[in-house]
Amino acid sequence: MATAGKVIKCKAAVLWEQNKPFSIEEVEVAPPKAKEVRIKILATGICRSDDHVMKGTLASKFPVIVGHEAVGVVESIGEGVTTVKPGDKVIPLFAPQCRECKSCRNPDANLCIMSDFTGRGVLADGTTRFTCRGKTVYHFASTSTFTEYTVVDEFAVVKIDDAAPSEKICLLGCAFSTGYGAAVKTGKVTPGSTCAVFGLGGVGLSVIMGCKLAGASRIIGIDLNKDKFEKAMAVGATECISPKDFTKPISEVLSEMTEDSVDYSFEAIGHLETMIDALKSCQKNYGTCVLVGVPPPAKMLAYDPMLLFMGRTWKGCIFGGWKSRDHVPKLVTDFMAKKFDLDQLITHVLPFKSIQEGFELLNSGKSIRTVLTF
């Protein structure tokens, strides 16, 4: 393309400091260096994890360009890139896969050593490709998609089916893959089982879809916001409850609703209290509880070790446990084969410049996923 090898000036949503709104700025995006890929973003979803950066729940340097749930097209590649080429439709991967580290070599693991969940904010060579008003702007979680163009390391991007609709499958970059994988890959929900899902945002609803596809017979959705119940039922919940309607903990309510508690419980909120109550909610001897919500920083959990001693399994997963470059193209193929539907998760589609409105919809509880288009 004509822009290859040149600096691209384009619009991006920059967070200059914590707790301040997005500022749409003209930024400079440097060309990709060796083993890097520059991508034109086509569509990107708004996830609670982006909001966590704004509020300080997820560590980050500032100024930063967040956003991590997207589809784009490769604009140009750096030297030595072999797995994608200009013109390819791709999904940037916040959980990268270098294919060389110990986790990547383990068939059951997916937390690649190249992941940036600690807020380093740079590419593998230790530098950034963004500048704005003469200042260095940091990357977020190997992706940074709230911009017309981004640069990622080759290990953090994968080619997908060109025919896949960008405005929908951007959700495979985070929400759907995370929730669905938590149920079918990490939790390994079995047919006929009972499940409880704490939190009915884009991630929790995707957990429900996974539980349903795995053949669970009873799926109980839990949220403080009853407006979320209709969607939860539409994607597969068999009933929904709100903690506001009970004076006792949800774990006790679930124990009464089901014979001796559910087989699987999932926490898709990110609060310490609900993490422990989700653990208490699964069957005491063989139950499995999966943590999906991002934990608050520098906080410790205190819980009765008897909860685990009796036999429960407590696990967590990032990106559902999927090995991103191996599995994302297959999830796209499954979507194209109509194995699951993403329409229920997308409540709003807005132009990129309305990003702040998209976050207001998230924070007021009115949206599930807002997709921004370019």
Residues in contact with ligand PAD by the rule CB under 6 A: 47-49, 52, 174, 178, 198-204, 222-225, 228, 243, 268-271, 274, 292-294, 318-319, 365
- Closest CB to Zn ion belongs to which residue? 47
Q: How far apart are CA 244 and CA 250, in angstroms?
A: 10
Residue 371 binds which entry of ligand PAD, Zn ion, none, CB below 5-8 Å type-dependent: none
Q: How far is CA 80 from CA 35, 114, 127, 152, in A?
A: 5, 18, 18, 14
| Residue 45 CB, nearest approach to ligand PAD (Å) | 9
- Closest CB to ligand PAD belongs to which residue? 201
Phi/psi at 218 (5° precision): -140, 125
Q: What is the greatest pairwise CA distance in the chain?
A: 65
Residues 6+ apart with CB under 8 A from 184: 210, 213, 214
Residue 292 binds which entry of Zn ion, ligand PAD, none, CB below 5-8 Å type-dependent: ligand PAD
Task: Examine residue 200 and tell whether it contacts Zn ion (CB under 5 A).
Answer: no
| Residue 320 CB, nearest approach to ligand PAD (Å) | 7
Residues 6+ apart with CB under 8 A from 305: none
Phi/psi at 63 (5° precision): -70, 155
> 200: part of which helix (H) or strand (E)?
none
Could you say which residues in the range 167-196 bind Zn ion, by CB under 5 A? 174
| Residue 132 CB, nearest approach to ligand PAD (Å) | 26
Rounded to the nearest angstrom, the gap between the alpha carbon of residue 360 and the centroid of all alpha carbons in its chain is: 19
3 state SS of 336: helix
| Residue 244 CB, nearest approach to ligand PAD (Å) | 9
Q: Which is nearer to Zn ion, 243 or 296 (CB)?
A: 296
Q: Which is nearer to ligand PAD, 67 or 293 (CB)?
A: 293
**Annotated active-site positions, please?**
47, 49, 52, 68, 174
- Using CB under 5 A, which of 47, 104, 123, 372 touches Zn ion? 47
Q: How far apart are CA 178 and CA 188, in angstroms?
A: 14
Q: Which is nearer to ligand PAD, 64 or 222 (CB)?
A: 222
Task: Examine residue 206 and tell whether it contacts Zn ion (CB under 5 A).
Answer: no
Task: Examine residue 292 and tell whether it contacts Zn ion (CB under 5 A).
Answer: no
Residue 187 binds which entry of ligand PAD, Zn ion, none, CB below 5-8 Å type-dependent: none
Residue 168 binds which entry of Zn ion, ligand PAD, none, CB below 5-8 Å type-dependent: none
70 beta partners:
44
Q: How far is CA 79 from CA 32, 75, 88, 143, in A?
A: 8, 14, 17, 19
Rounded to the nearest angstrom, the gap between the alpha carbon of residue 101 and the centroid of all alpha carbons in its chain is: 22
| Residue 314 CB, nearest approach to ligand PAD (Å) | 15
Q: What share of the chain is helix, strand, coil (3-state, %, to 5)?
A: 30, 25, 45
| Residue 135 CB, nearest approach to ligand PAD (Å) | 27
Residues 6+ apart with CB under 8 A from 296: 57, 270, 271, 272
| The one segment of 39-47, 137-145, 292-300, 308-316 that binds Zn ion by CB under 5 A | 39-47
Q: Which is nearer to Zn ion, 118 or 247 (CB)?
A: 118
Q: Which is nearer to ligand PAD, 27 or 182 (CB)?
A: 182
Q: Which is nearer to Zn ion, 172 or 241 (CB)?
A: 172
Residue 147 binds which entry of ligand PAD, Zn ion, none, CB below 5-8 Å type-dependent: none
Residue 262 binds which entry of Zn ion, ligand PAD, none, CB below 5-8 Å type-dependent: none
Residues 6+ apart with CB under 8 A from 164: 71, 89, 332, 335, 336
Residue 121 binds which entry of ligand PAD, Zn ion, none, CB below 5-8 Å type-dependent: none
User: Quick one: DSSP state of residue 167?
Assistant: H
Task: Examine residue 8 and tell whether it contacts Zn ion (CB under 5 A).
Answer: no
Task: Examine residue 49 and tell whether it contacts Zn ion (CB under 5 A).
Answer: yes
Q: How far apart are CA 319 and CA 218, in angstroms?
A: 24
Q: Which is nearer to ligand PAD, 146 or 319 (CB)?
A: 319
Interacting residues with Zn ion (CB under 5 A): 47, 49, 174
